[in-house]
Amino acid sequence: MNMRSIVITPSRPGSLRYEDIPRPSPAPGEVLVKIVEAGVCRTDIEIYEGLYGEAPAGSGFLVMGHEALGRLENGDLVVPMVRRSCGACESCLSGEPDMCFTGNFVERGIKGLHGMFCEYIAESPRYLVPLPGDARAYGVLAEPMSIVAKAVRQAEMMSRRVPRSPERALVLGAGPIGLLATMVFRLLGLETVTVARRPASSAKAKIVEACGGGYVSTGEVPVPSLAEKAGLFDLILEATGDAGAAFDCLTASAVNGIVCFTSVTGGSGRRTIDPDRVNRELVLGNRTIFGTVNANRGDFETGLSYLKRIDLAYPGLLQKLFTSRVPFEKALSVFPDQAEEIKTIIELA
């Protein structure tokens, strides 16, 4: 029995297409998961554009999709995780494949493992996070929120080196990661400013303001001028997809500040930076920069708790992130035109 899927030939722009593939049969220890809906994110767009992506061994294509909400045969809702353990290193063996030492991991819809823009997957329960029924409306956000949860967890570890917790946070970017980070920082009581390209009258700005954050458009205040206009920040989370903006934000980091990069920038860009200045400010200011990618099961669970708290604190706000919902048969049309979207949802069930 076959099923429809959305696939791409990695590194070949314009190869996005539907493909009939065999419906999976669960191996011993696996369960069948029916995909209910899946989210489109910036990573999917960059794979669509041919910037990266890796097909499974022996396959000429990659089934896309790594953000999804699924249902088991008994009716239970689950969120599939993205990364699979290399099975050998200390991190993977301790349940943290997101911190893999070997690089021999695979990721659904991204690297070496088919994704979830399809009707069914077969999966081990160890990579399925149970979703309470009352979280159905926002459960598909679990994967992007897990990225935020991991970033916050790691930043909290680093902040313990000084006797004062962060008080001011800066978020660069107002895509799903940036907006979810803004909501979490506000939950945690941080004064938060979010900076993005859209004007202050945009839907993204209104979402930021609805949870008590401040919004700044780079059209009015360029990133290098943030420190002058908005002051310094104890915690900065970058989620722009723009490596240049990521480095520009360093001037807004306070003494003892922490800067987290979350963007995976495809392609190969060139830019001149002043390494002496960067080195001097990092060393003399005790500043920390770290990158974070993917998340482990604990971060997914923490992320779901954050989503529940946000839904209670700001009713209806999470739903504003879903700017488009399209049926599976029309899904190919959404990939070329994501510039104005926050989160497009592909409905499979």
Kindly tell me the number of DSSP H helices and DSSP E strands found in the chain.
9, 19
Residues 53/47, Cβ–Cβ less than 8 Å: yes
pLDDT at 340: 83
**DSSP conformational letter for 340:** T
Percent of the chain with pLDDT over 70: 98
Alpha-carbon span 193 to 173, nearest angstrom: 11
The answer to whether 184 touches 306, Cβ cutoff 8 Å, is: yes
Kindly report the pTM of this predicted structure: 0.95
Report residue 93's pLDDT band, with 50, 70 and 90 as the boundaries. Answer: very high
Residue whose structure tokens are 């879903």? 322
Tell me what percent of the chain is helix, strand and coil, each rounded to the nearest 5: 35, 30, 40
Per-residue pLDDT tens over the stretch 129-186: 999 989 999 999 999 999 999 999 999 999 999 999 999 999 999 999 999 999 999 9
Which residues does residue 128 pair with via DSSP β-bridges, in sequence order? Answer: 80
* H helix intervals, the chain: 42-48, 90-93, 142-159, 176-187, 203-210, 226-230, 243-248, 275-284, 297-313
For 318-347, give one letter per residue: b (16+ CB within 10 A) or e. bebbbeeeeebeebbebbeebeebbbbbbe
Q: Once rounded to an integer, what is the mean pLDDT over residues 203-229? A: 94
Cα–Cα distance between 304 and 141 in angstroms, integer?
A: 9
Domains of the chain plus CATH, in order, are 2-131+321-347 (3.90.180.10), 145-291 (3.40.50.720)
Are the C-beta atoms of residues 105 and 92 closer than 8 Å to each other?
A: yes
| Sole residue written with tokens 């780079």 | 218
Q: Say which residue the tokens 């159905």 belong to.
A: 136
Per-residue tokens: 337: 């035109």
pLDDT of amino acid 279: 85
**Structure confidence at residue 268 as a pLDDT band (50, 70, 90):** low
